[in-house]
Structure 1
Amino acid sequence: MPHDTFLNLSNDKKNSIENILLNIFFKQPISQVKVSEIVSEMKMSRGAFYKYFTDLDDAYTYVINKYALIIHQDIITYIQNDKNQFFLGIEKYLIWCSELNHESDYWKSLRLLTESNDLSAYKRFPLTEDSPLLTKWTDILEANQIMMEDYDESIAFLFFIMELVMNALTGYIANDWSTEELVKDYRYRVKWITKGIK
């Protein structure tokens, strides 16, 4: 977790640092990243970096968690747009991702998350029962008549769906698929989930 000195920065300064971290971690594995490279890009002293983050892993985990949350929120938004057709919203999100400019920060964040071997990419971030994200999720489940036994099951299903999306995108990137191939593979998964296998 970043130190308060980082969290209390202005949004512009924070965004600038996050963008630098995203680009550096996107270009090379964390094992090859040096703090000196980051502070050079940030035009600050090494000591300033350690006022913001405990170490390199802390900065990396922060970036992974930040972009994972953004992507999860966007997936929920796409599902909400087709509230009564749960899996169609996800398909539209995947198509949108496949058409992104590969130089965009959003694409870089997707690549970073799909290529991350770090367990923090799979760590479930805490959600309170009154969080806006969970409220949207509950509305979506109700609209699609997807019944969950309790709060814990609905959270587990939320992260299962997020993993489904990231897994589909990982396949798309790793196999250099076209949008059509991505959609075809995704539809297989939906069929297995909704109809089972014989």
Structure 2
Amino acid sequence: MPKQTFYNLPEEKKQTLIRAVEKEFSRVPLHDASITNIVKEADIPRGSFYQYFDDKEDAFFFLLDDLAEKRKEVFIRLLEKHHGDLIDAVRAFFQTAITEVENLNFMKNTFLNMTYKIEDSFLKAFSDRQNSEQFREVSSLIDKRKLNLAGDKELFHVMQILTSVIVRNLVEKFARNLSDEEAMNHFTIQMKLLKTGLYQTE
């Protein structure tokens, strides 16, 4: 995470640095990113970068964690909009993720160069720990009457499954250069299978 000196920056300078970091990670994935390009874009000395971040990975995960937090807020709004219907909210969330222009290149570079650490950082905004405050917040908004679940322990695992499906479909969209419509069709089929189950009812 950024050092305290980063948080002490005036807001304008902080946003300038964030934009420079985002521009570089939107240009190339983490392992190819250049601190030289970041400091040049932000118009700061190279030494100043290390006053704010430990290294480029620290800057990358700050950006990713911030994006994941914003995604969580979007998901919560969608849960409210869809009256707690989990599958409808997840479908709307995926559609938002693939159609919005902002952060698209950053997301593409991130998901095409996925590591466990990156996936974990993205997923924890939705299903970090069963007893975490943010999980309880999401759980409270879900209409559990529609779900075949024994309680929050099973809901936690369902959230992990759903977020893993989201990540896999984002990777597929970017790797295969699918259109928004194709990606949405694939995702809708998978959501239908999860909603109805795989086994025939007696």
TM-score (ref. length: structure 1): 0.80
* Equivalenced residues, count: 194
The one-letter amino acid paired with 2:178 is W
Match for 1:116 among 102, 113, 116?
Answer: 113
Q: Residues of 2 paired with 1:174 and 1:149: CA distance? A: 36
Give deviations 1:143-169, integer Å, cap 9, x for gaps. 64453534x544443343222222222
Relative to structure 1, the CA distance from residue 191 to residue 37 in structure 2 (aligned partners, 3 Å threshold; closer, same or farther) is same
Q: Does 1:173 align with 2:170?
A: no
TM-score (ref. length: structure 2): 0.79
Relative to structure 1, the CA distance from residue 64 to residue 97 in structure 2 (aligned partners, 3 Å threshold; closer, same or farther) is closer
* Number of the residue aligned with 1:192: 193
Q: Residues of 1 paired with 2:177 and 2:147: CA distance? A: 35
Task: Determine if contact 2:29/2:110 at 8 Å carries over to the other structure.
Answer: no
Identity of aligned residues (%): 18
* Number of the residue aligned with 2:159: 158
* Number of the residue aligned with 1:74: 74
Tell me, which stretches of 5 or more residues in structure 2 are unaligned? none
Q: Give the root-mean-square deviation of aligned CA atoms.
A: 2.7
Q: Residues of 2 paired with 1:78 and 1:117: CA distance? A: 26
Question: Aligned with 2:114: secondary structure?
Answer: coil
What is the Cα deviation at residue 183 of structure 1?
2.3
What is the Cα deviation at residue 184 of structure 1?
1.8
Relative to structure 1, the CA distance from residue 33 to residue 78 in structure 2 (aligned partners, 3 Å threshold; closer, same or farther) is same
Relative to structure 1, the CA distance from residue 155 to residue 132 in structure 2 (aligned partners, 3 Å threshold; closer, same or farther) is same
* Number of the residue aligned with 2:46: 46
Relative to structure 1, the CA distance from residue 146 to residue 69 in structure 2 (aligned partners, 3 Å threshold; closer, same or farther) is farther
* Number of the residue aligned with 1:138: 140
Task: Determine if contact 1:68/1:121 at 8 Å carries over to the other structure.
Answer: no
Relative to structure 1, the CA distance from residue 179 to residue 40 in structure 2 (aligned partners, 3 Å threshold; closer, same or farther) is closer
* Number of the residue aligned with 2:34: 34
Tell me, which stretches of 5 or more residues in structure 1 are unaligned? none
Larger deviation: 39-48 or 125-134? 125-134
Larger deviation: 65-74 or 135-144? 135-144
Q: Residues of 2 paired with 1:46 and 1:92: CA distance? A: 42
